Amino acid sequence: MLSVWPNLFDYQIIVPFILRLALGGSLLVLYLPTWRSTRGLFGLLAGILILIGLATQPASLATTLLLTEESWYGRHQRATLLPLLAIALALLFLGPGLFAFDWPL
């Protein structure tokens, strides 16, 4: 395959790791104020699992469903939820990446 920068393909295992850190940290920040509700605990649990790289693909599937429901009913602004939804979908297909405890399904 022809590519403009073929050397960037050497970093294809690092990218899911960076996406995992971004999504997990964002979920923790987003759901920490509402940790007493069921939705907040669900979001925090998914954020912690994604952050440490344990059950990444099931947690990103749950995060995709949670963020879709949050954006559908308008509990948060869609401008903050849609990039997180895109990252969760990317992690669902890319796998956990570097420094994870699980292997891609």
Model confidence pLDDT, tens digit, residues 26-52: 999 999 999 899 999 999 999 999 999
Residue spans of alpha helices (H) in the chain: 14-31, 38-52, 56-73, 78-94
* pTM > 0.85: yes
Residue pLDDT, tens place only, 6-29: 888 888 889 999 999 999 999 999
Is residue 25 within 8 A of residue 51, CB to CB? The reply is: yes
